[in-house]
Chains A and B, each alone.
Chain A
Amino acid sequence: MSFSYLVRRLLLSIPTILIVTVIVFVLVRLVPGDVVDLIIGTQKFLSEEQILKMYEDFGLDKPIFVQYFIWMKSMLSGNLGISLRTGEDVATMLLQRLPVTLELAFLSIFVSIIIGIPLGIISARKKNTFVDNLIKVVGLVGLSSPAFWIGTIFIVIFSFYFESFTIFGYVAFFENPMKNLQVFLLPSFTLGLMIAAQILRITRTSMIESLSMDYVKVAYSKGLGKNKVIYKHAFRNALSPIITVTGIQLGYLFGGSIVIENMFALPGLGRLLLQSVNQRDYPVIQAIILFIVIVIIILNLLIDFIYTIIDPRITLG
């Protein structure tokens, strides 16, 4: 693994993050009406002076790029602003909701891997047979079905046939682990199935490719058992594209969690985001979006590093 690559990759992500902050900053400022207008709202009795004072307090009288630097400075010091609706500290709100989203993300990825990878391997081993075609169709259907539709199907089935099953009503893991996992079961399957379809497709393609390689034939001719060849040789070599796709899905996961959290009433970041959108609570919206995007950039960076560990062929010079 070349050290210079890691450094270059790290350095390249800095402008990306900076541009992301500019995009978010500019988009929020493009909204007709500013913070002062929002706060004044119906209170039209404020005098001209008081309003000017508010502009000064918020730094809105300064040129836009100065405003950007002030904003960045406070963001970097962990001050994400205050909710326009509740007056709560936005950073605290984020930290409160984060565990729910993380648990959902973790469980969904887990579901998608345990479903997607085995099916993909079976499909590749039985290429062009009935089983393969069946799995391919299942994958394509999974890819095409909106998550919220799969979710409603689950809700309908479970509320009609498993009446004792708790679908809604979030409980923290440390309060009641069993109940917590039960509440997360349907949401993580709903989200996990969508990602499983993607993982399945890429696993199939890259396993077919690696099973046709010479080293697989060599391994067989050495007399190694079928499973050993498939899992130790072929699968290991097929792993990098699978990890790439799983990495790309992390972004999808955050998007999907907005839908799923709202559908299953899970109090995570996605639900907070939609609430804030409906209440036009810009500081919260802005903070959640920035947080999600920066997390994704960092995760992608980590995935790049993981590559070099699992696949020593890549020097990424």
Chain B
Amino acid sequence: MKRFLKNFIKNPLNMINLIIICALIFVSFFPSVIAPYNPLEMDSRSILEPPSFTHFFGTDQFGRDVFSRSIYGIQNSMIIALSSMIISALLGTLLGILSGYYGGWIDQVISRIIDAFFAFPSLVLALFIVALFGSSTFNLIIAIGIVYIPIFARTLRGATISIKELTFVKASKVVGKNNFKIMWTVVFPNVSSIFIVTFTTNFSTAILTEASLGFLGLGVPPPEPTLGGLVGQGTNFIIAAPWLTLLPGLLIAVIVLSINILGDGLRDVLDPKFQK
């Protein structure tokens, strides 16, 4: 653990990035502290204004402050991405460890179902589910949650298979621990670094999936702001007011980039494949 922290801190990029991530977490918890205006308040006197000191990101066609909407958009996007990642992490890890640990027909059944879900491109599956059941925050969380189950299941299955023949796992069997106890107390801690890396790298793509759905108009229904939704609605004014799309889009890119850098950094120190 100490070595891990030392390696992680050694890279200055990781530290800068950590600050961005902390800011992101703060904004997600307390958007009202940062946002200068009410994100839903309209103002007919200032419509489609370009960015200025009073409106950092300008205003939209209803005179709403785009910066404040983006800040609340971050909160919505983070809630959806994080909740769905928790769903996929829980179910995916459970399925992956079960199928890797038991092998045999359990593995066959789980793997075939996972294969089938894996064949769906993430955006296509999410869009399909949202299209069928309607777009609400809850449905989006479920849809994106389902989409990322196969990735966790596959990765954790592979990791479990690679450690289950090792002596300490076999030893716990000999000692007479029951299978569930072994999976929870022996297998999981030993695949947890892979779990963390999978979680971080897919968290960033979950944000992109949510943003893409929002862009297509299938995200959280208006007037609630989400980052993807802001870009999508802004495209109607792309020539008259390009800042409506460019600035919230930039925000998505920065958020995803910093989570990707975090993921890369974690992978370099945690994933045995990337260690010298």
Contacts and interface: CB of A to CB of B under 8 A. Distances in A.
**Main secondary structure on A side of the interface with B:** helix
B121 interface: yes
A146 B249 contact: yes
A10 to B, nearest CB: 14
A152 B116 contact: no
A144 B216 contact: no
A172 interface: no
Nearest to A141: B257
Given A27-B128, A141-B253, A19 B113 contact: yes
B238 A152 contact: yes
A17 B250 CA distance: 39
Interface stretch (B41-49, B88-96, B204-212): B204-212
Interface string B30-58: 00000000000000000000000000000
A289 B120 CA distance: 8
Interface in A239-298: 251-256, 258-259, 262-263, 273-274, 277-278, 280, 282, 285, 289, 292-293, 296-297
Contact of A31 (B120, B133, B208, B218): B133
A185 interface: no
A15 interface: yes
A146 B129 contact: no
Contacts, number: 134
A15 B117 CA distance: 12
A153 interface: yes
A281 to B, nearest CB: 10
A92 interface: no
A28 B208 contact: no
Interface string B188-220: 000000000000000010001001100111100
Interface string B234-276: 1100110010011001101100110011001000000000000
A303 interface: no
B121 A30 contact: no
Nearest to A295: B119
A110 B127 CA distance: 27
Contacts of B129: 27
B257 to A, nearest CB: 4
Contacts of A292: 121, 124
Given A153-B246, A258-B124, A159 B116 contact: no
B166 to A, nearest CB: 25
A140 interface: yes
A300 B118 CA distance: 12
B264 A140 contact: yes
B212 A285 contact: no
Contact of B235 (A24, A30, A147, A152): A152
B252 A296 contact: no
A30 B218 CA distance: 19
A19 B124 contact: no
Nearest to A286: B128
Nearest to A294: B119
B231 interface: yes
A259 B215 contact: yes
Contact of A20 (B119, B232, B250): B119
A258 B127 contact: yes
B253 A144 contact: yes
Contacts of B211: 146, 148
Q: Which of B116, B212, B234 has the most CB of A within 10 A?
A: B116
A140 B115 CA distance: 28
Given A258-B124, A293-B124, A28 B132 contact: yes
Interface string B140-152: 0000000000000
Q: Which of A24, A140, A277 has the most CB of B within 10 A?
A: A277
Nearest to A249: B121
Nearest to A29: B132
B76 to A, nearest CB: 16
A6 interface: no
A143 B260 contact: yes
Q: Which of B127, B246, B264 has the most CB of A within 10 A?
A: B127
A152 B252 CA distance: 14
A253 to B, nearest CB: 8
Contacts of A159: 238-239
Contact of A148 (B119, B121, B215, B239): B215
A222 B228 CA distance: 56
B197 to A, nearest CB: 15
A252 B212 CA distance: 12
A19 B253 contact: no
Report, nearest first, the 8 A-B pairs whose CB atoms are least far apart.
A149-B249, A255-B123, A19-B116, A144-B257, A255-B121, A251-B121, A144-B256, A277-B131
Given A146-B231, A159-B239, A259-B215, 6 more contacts: A23-B117, A144-B204, A144-B260, A149-B249, A153-B249, A277-B218
21 contacts: A16-B119, A30-B132, A31-B132, A146-B211, A146-B228, A146-B253, A147-B212, A148-B231, A152-B231, A152-B238, A152-B242, A159-B239, A251-B119, A251-B124, A255-B124, A258-B123, A259-B215, A262-B216, A277-B218, A289-B124, A300-B119
Interface of B: 112-113, 115-117, 119-124, 127-129, 131-133, 204, 208, 211-212, 215-218, 228, 231-232, 234-235, 238-239, 242, 245-246, 249-250, 252-253, 256-257, 260-261, 264
